[in-house]
């Protein structure tokens, strides 16, 4: 079977270091930290009192205030990022087959704030079940995909992927496969998350997953640093327009990159901890390379999952060394979570975008906040510490791994004829 080529023709981002693609790239290339004290609620009694929040956002500029009350922040974020991506792709909706255009959207949690607020109101009331009629449709993790399809009239496949922090990459791989198998021509895909809430911070604190560096939040996300103490919770959305190559060419679309392969595996090891030797991570990168039909030596940059957790960072580096061998020392590797924090189900989308932008600018975004080498990690590896590095990037791989042992890797390449 001849598989069709898939390209990226539009990008949109709403992140803790920038509310548009240009702002996001400026933050990435300059090593900006998005972490600061929490403003969403009073966090003074929480073990972690900071996060990477979206900043300076006026929802009413994008969504009517009355309509905004009917949708959870995770859906609001999705709609804003998708609007930028659709404008960037410059798609004439009247000239495409809407039955062959779909939406696959990822979120690890969905409407957490809605769930928290509604249950809290009920629990502190008189026991009478007075729930908002929008409670369920605001909360469920598929509703962002539904809203997106309704707004743009996309009548093709429409669903959500939920695989914790791998959700958005899972969505991108699914959309990629639909297009290359000839089932659709175009997809809006990506992910969003809005978990900076009392339940989100408190829950991850209970797991001992979050950094508690309250005295220095801007340096708290420090992947690969010896003194890392957990991830920093982030929020936002990333949207990509994926399109069949000939379809894109026919309408004269701008093409950012070609999506050439993806892999998905399960650790089959532990609910929250990665396999200590990176078994699932190594397998997923091998499968992605095999799917893309390229050799490990052809990858120039890896945007790692790199959450700033003691176990996760070490296991991922071990996996990279298993898969790439001596070429691992010629790669640039970086964790953009050092700047954005961990956007959970949206992480894979904004990190795919970061990888694509690195290729378009031939510049590797840094892993900031590195102060002390970790003796468990090979210091000969180029982890792109603290400052962006110029490098010709023809192909980039992005990793995202999730609680439950879900692993996804995706590979982009500069477009060739």
Q: pTM of the full predicted structure?
A: 0.97
Average pLDDT over residues 41-69: 95
Average pLDDT over residues 43-52: 98
Spatial separation of the C-alpha atoms in residues 45 and 111, rounded to whole Å: 23
pLDDT at residue 15, rounded to an integer: 98
- Say yes or no to pLDDT of 337 above 70: yes
Average pLDDT over residues 382-408: 97
pLDDT at residue 297, rounded to an integer: 98
SS (H, E, C) the chain: CCCCCEEEEEEEEEECCECCHHHHHHHHHCCCCCCEECCCCCCCCCCCCEEECCCCCCHHHCCCHHHHCCCCHHHHHHHHHHHHHHHHHCCCHHHCCHHHEEEEEECCCCCHHHHHHHHHHHHCCCCCCCCCCCHHHHHCCCHHHHHHHHHHCCCCCEEEECECECHHHHHHHHHHHHHHCCCCCEEEEEEEECCCCHHHHHHHHHCCCECCCCCCHHHCCCCCCCCCCCECEECEEEEEEEEEHHHHHHCCCCCCEEEEEEEEEECCCCCCCCCCCCHHHHHHHHHHHHHHCCCHHHCCEEECCCCCCHHHHHHHHHHHHHHHHHHHHCCEEECCHHHHCECHHHHHHHHHHHHHHHHHHCEECCECCCCCCCCCCCCCCECCECCCEECCCCEEEEEEEECCCEEEEEEEECCCC
Percent share of the chain, pLDDT over 70? 100
Query: Which residues make beta-bridge pairs with 50?
Result: 37
pLDDT at residue 141, rounded to an integer: 97
Report yes or no: 346 and 376 within 8 Å, Cβ to Cβ.
no
Burial (CB count within 10 angstroms: exposed 0-12, middle 13-18, buried 19+), residue 271: exposed
pLDDT digits (tens, 9 = 90+) for 365-377: 999 999 999 999 9
pLDDT at residue 397, rounded to an integer: 98
- Say yes or no to pLDDT of 417 above 70: no
Of the residues 247, 275, 305, 370, which is catalytic?
Answer: 305
Report yes or no: 278 and 315 within 8 Å, Cβ to Cβ.
yes
247 is known as an active-site residue: no
pLDDT digits (tens, 9 = 90+) for 121-148: 988 888 888 899 999 999 999 999 999 9
305 is known as an active-site residue: yes
408 is known as an active-site residue: no
Query: Which residues make beta-bridge pairs with 343?
Result: none
Spatial separation of the C-alpha atoms in residues 350 and 415, rounded to whole Å: 20
Q: Which residue has the tokens 């001849």?
A: 2
Average pLDDT over residues 175-191: 98
Spatial separation of the C-alpha atoms in residues 133 and 249, rounded to whole Å: 45
pLDDT digits (tens, 9 = 90+) for 323-336: 999 999 999 999 99
pLDDT at residue 154, rounded to an integer: 98
* pLDDT bucket at 31, cuts 50 / 70 / 90: very high
Spatial separation of the C-alpha atoms in residues 316 and 399, rounded to whole Å: 9
pLDDT digits (tens, 9 = 90+) for 282-293: 999 999 999 999
Q: 200-216 burial, b for 16+ CB within 10 Å, e for fewer?
A: bbbbbbeeebbbebeee
Comparing CA positions, the residue from 124, 165, 114, 123 lying closest to residue 144 is 114
Which residues have C-beta within 8 Å of that of residue 164, sequence separation ≥ 6? Answer: 108, 344, 345, 402, 403, 404, 406
Of the residues 247, 275, 342, 406, which is catalytic?
Answer: 342
Rounded mean pLDDT of the chain? 97
Q: Which residue has the tokens 């510049």?
A: 363
Domains of the chain, start order: 6-250 (3.40.47.10), 264-413 (3.40.47.10)
* pLDDT bucket at 2, cuts 50 / 70 / 90: confident
Task: Tell me the backbone φ, ψ of residue 281, rounded to 5 degrees.
Answer: -65, -40
Spatial separation of the C-alpha atoms in residues 333 and 312, rounded to whole Å: 15
* pLDDT bucket at 160, cuts 50 / 70 / 90: very high
Query: Which residues make beta-bridge pairs with 124?
Result: none
Average pLDDT over residues 158-162: 98
- Say yes or no to pLDDT of 416 above 90: no
Average pLDDT over residues 70-93: 98
CB count in 10 Å sphere of residue 234: 28
């Amino acid at each position: 079977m001849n598989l069709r080529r898939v390209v990226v023709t539009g990008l949109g981002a709403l992140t803790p270091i920038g509310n548009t693609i240009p702002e996001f790239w400026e933050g990435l290339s300059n090593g900006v930290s998005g972490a600061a004290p929490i403003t969403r609620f009073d966090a003074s009694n929480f073990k972690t009192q900071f996060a990477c929040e979206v900043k300076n956002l006026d929802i009413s500029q994008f969504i009517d205030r009355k309509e905004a009350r009917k949708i959870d922040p995770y859906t609001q974020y999705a709609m804003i990022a998708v609007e930028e991506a659709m404008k960037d792709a410059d798609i004439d909706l009247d000239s495409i087959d809407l039955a062959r255009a779909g939406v696959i959207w990822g979120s690890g949690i969905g409407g957490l704030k809605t769930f928290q607020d509604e249950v809290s109101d009920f629990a502190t009331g008189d026991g009478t079940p007075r729930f908002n009629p929008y409670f369920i449709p605001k909360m469920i993790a598929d509703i962002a995909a539904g809203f997106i399809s309704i707004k743009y009239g996309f009548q093709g496949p429409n669903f959500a992927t939920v695989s914790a922090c791998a959700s958005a990459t899972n969505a991108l791989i699914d959309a990629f496969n639909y297009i290359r198998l000839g089932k659709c021509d175009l997809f809006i895909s990506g992910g969003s998350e809005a978990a900076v809430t009392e339940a989100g911070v408190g829950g991850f604190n209970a797991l001992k997953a979050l950094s508690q560096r309250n005295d220095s939040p801007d340096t708290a996300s420090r992947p690969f640093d010896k003194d890392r103490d957990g991830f920093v919770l982030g929020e936002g959305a990333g949207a990509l327009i994926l399109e069949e190559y000939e379809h894109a060419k026919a309408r004269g679309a701008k093409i950012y990159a070609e999506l050439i392969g993806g892999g998905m595996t399960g650790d089959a090891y532990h609910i929250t901890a990665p396999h200590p030797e990176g078994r699932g991570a190594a397998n997923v990168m091998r499968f992605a390379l095999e799917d893309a039909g390229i050799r490990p030596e052809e990858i120039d940059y890896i945007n790692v999952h790199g959450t700033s957790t003691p176990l996760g960072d070490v296991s991922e580096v071990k996996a990279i060394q298993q898969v790439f061998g001596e070429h691992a020392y010629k790669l640039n590797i970086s964790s953009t979570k050092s700047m954005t924090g961990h956007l959970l189900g949206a992480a894979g989308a904004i990190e795919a975008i970061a990888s694509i932008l690195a290729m378009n600018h031939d510049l590797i975004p840094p892993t900031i906040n590195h102060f002390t080498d970790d003796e468990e990690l090979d210091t000969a590896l180029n982890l792109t510490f603290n400052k962006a590095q110029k490098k010709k990037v023809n192909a980039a791989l992005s990793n995202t791994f999730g609680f439950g042992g879900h692993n996804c890797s995706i590979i982009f390449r500069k477009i060739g004829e």
